[in-house]
Structure 1
Amino acid sequence: MKYSLRFLMVLAGAFIAFNNGKAQTTNSYLQEIEQWDSSRIHYLKSEEGWLNLEGLFWLKEGKNSFGSNPSSQLVFPGNILPADAGYFERQGNSVRLFPTEHTGILVNGQVMKDAVVYNKDLLPAPVMSYGSLRWTIIQREDKIGIRLRNLSSRHLREFRGIERFAVDPAWKVDARLERGNPFHTVSITNVLGQTTEQRSPGKLVFTLKGKQYSLDALEEGDQLFIIFGDLTSGETTYPSGRYMYARKPGPDGITTLDFNKAYNPPCAFTPHATCPIPPPQNILPVAVIAGEKNYH
């Protein structure tokens, strides 16, 4: 079969235009992932990020002395605080701070003789500070404790980024949300061994390499939050799985799962976090070679 020179030129032009368009799309997607990664790193290194955590102290009922003195019930590391900094008093779900006089501990930027620093009506929880230290009170079921940050932490200074798998658009897939009943929940266990029932809008059903899989989703604001594990967990990725966000689907029930944006939980960076781990049904029987690798 013979083709005219004009036809072949048109065909070649169309082929070049197609490949140029494909290359532009790929470059645009690579830029999107790079911007996402840059924002992720910026957050990790920020005051609210996970690299500066240096302590998690659970409070018992009654008085809990704290300071840099090894004899304190709660020993803050680094010899930054005075030896005897005062005490916290827990009464049920309420915590009050009683700093030692003239320590210079601040509560939301102000020196106070004593202050209620936690109850369920105090939102957000007050921030206490001394030098480079910042701490707040957190609650995990019946446990109430102090989350301590050091803005001069060596982990911040030593951080050199997170290794990732090569970006591959094939790991960005459409997913269909199969909604459960309005009261559907999923059992989620954290690293403390606590299990809670969390509301789930349903399962995200998707296809990878010709096979169908599903992941139970949770709701977080205007997004879906997914906790999952796969065959790379404990090998090239964090043993207790990774996290991922997706936009809530529109009326057609379709959203996008981008495994290139799968990221490590806080526990990959610090032992002082209380991360949820994947429920058994969210352990995928496939190696997801996309997103963040384990942090060493």
Structure 2
Amino acid sequence: MDELVGEWQAWREERERGLRAPHGWLAITAIHWLTDESQRFDDVPGSWTGRDHEASVSLAAGESLSLDGRVLGTGTHRIGPFDDLGLRLAFGDAVAQVAARDDQVILRPRHPDSPNLTAYRETPCYPPDLDWVLRARYEPYAEPDGDAIGEVAFEHGGSAHRLVAWDADDGSLWLLFRDATSGVTTYAALRQLVTAPPAPDGTVELDFNRAYNLPCAYTDFATCPVPPPANTLPFAVDAGEQIPLLV
């Protein structure tokens, strides 16, 4: 139990550091959807257009941005192509993320003095509990179902349960779920859990003590997925992160 608590505490402290980062999710001041029509915004230099995984910014005299250490000055600059994670451009003590969302392009400025970051207090958590470390079995699909690659099967409270799983890119499994705490003590839309890679026999550990919020729990300027109906658990997962405190 002492090992569980120590590792969980380190995990929680790392989470809090990330949430309080000056250019993290809480620092976002807006989400701007770029179009073919040039637009200027209050929280980022330049006049912007964007489509098809690329953007263009026109900077007036006295405006500048920095991309990978290269200063972009007065004039028009093409940026991209980029993926869903996008690229970050620096200006002053802030950055702006430009990224793809299907066939659209978003621009998200991040300022260390954003009202949301200033208002953030903490993310309460349930105390770590060994009872929420569950043994499960990963059952891959014969063929991926969209982005889903399989399911994890486990028992809780004497009943069998299953969760659809996605690939976390390194052999780990990514689970999105709701439960009876959703909208009560935990964020209403969903929480997430990333497992270690399954063992060769399919065995995988579900440590719900590390269930954590997606960015949409902290800002209206995030674009988060939703879990399928099958991933709504009929019991309360009294473990992991709760509703963030933003006051």
TM-score, normalisation: structure 2: 0.90
Deviation track 1:222-244 (CA, whole Å, cap 9, x = no partner) reads 11110000111111111101011
Q: In structure 1, what is the equivalent of residue 151 of structure 2?
A: 203
For the aligned residue pairs, the C-alpha RMSD in angstroms reads 2.0
Query: In the alignment, what sits opposite 1:216?
Result: 164
CA change 1:34–1:261 in 2 (3 A) is same
Q: Which residue of 2 aligns with 1:115?
A: 77
Return the offset for 1:43: 1.6
Task: State how far apart, in whole Å, the 2-side matches of 1:125 and 1:162 are.
Answer: 27
- Tell me the equivalent position of 1:277: 226
The answer to which structure has the higher helix fraction is 1
1:41 aligned partner, one-letter code? E
Indicate conservation of the 8 Å contact 2:186/2:243, yes or no.
Answer: yes
CA contact (8 A) 2:179 2:235 kept: yes
Q: Which one of 223, 228, 234 corresponds to residue 183 of structure 2?
A: 234
Tell me the SS of whatever aligns to 2:122.
Answer: coil
Q: Deviations for 1:2-50, whole angstroms, at most 9, x for unmatched residues?
A: xxxxxxxxxxxxxxxxxxxxxxxx1111111101101111121224531
Deviations 1:32-79 (A, max 9, x none): 110110111112122453121111000112422x143xxxxxxx2xxx
Aligned residues: 242
What is the percentage of aligned positions where both structures have the same residue? 29
Check conservation: 1:44, 1:51, Cα contact below 8 A.
yes
Letter of the 1:165 counterpart: Y
**Which one has the bigger strand percentage?**
2
Match of 2:241 in 1: 292
In 2, the alpha carbon distance for the partners of 1:158 and 1:90 equals: 32
**1:69-101 deviation digits (Å, cap 9, x = unpaired):** xxxxxxx2xxxx5xxx43123354321111112
- Output one character per residue of 1:260-296: Cα deviation in whole Å (capped at 9) or x when no partner: 1001111111000001111111001111111111113
Partner of 1:59: 34
Given that 1:117 and 1:125 are in contact with CA atoms closer than 8 Å, whether structure 2 keeps it comes out as no
Correspondence for 2:16: 41
Could you tell me whether the CA contact under 8 Å between 1:90 and 1:96 is conserved in 2?
yes
In structure 2, what is the equivalent of residue 73 of structure 1?
none
Q: Which among 95, 111, 119 is matched to residue 158 of structure 1?
A: 119
The correspondence of residues 29-178 of structure 1 with structure 2, limited to 5 A, is: 29-47=4-22, 49-64=24-39, 66-68=40-42, 76=43, 85-113=45-73, 114-120=76-82, 125-178=86-139
**Structure 1 residues 167 and 130: alpha-carbon distance in aligned structure 2, compared to 1, 3 A threshold:** same
- TM-score by structure 1 length? 0.76
The Cα shift of 1:117 comes to 1.8
Which stretches in structure 1 are left out of the alignment for 5+ residues?
1-25, 69-75, 186-196
Do the aligned residues in 2 keep the contact of 1:176 with 1:253 (CA within 8 Å)? yes
Is contact 2:87–2:99 with CA below 8 Å preserved after alignment?
no
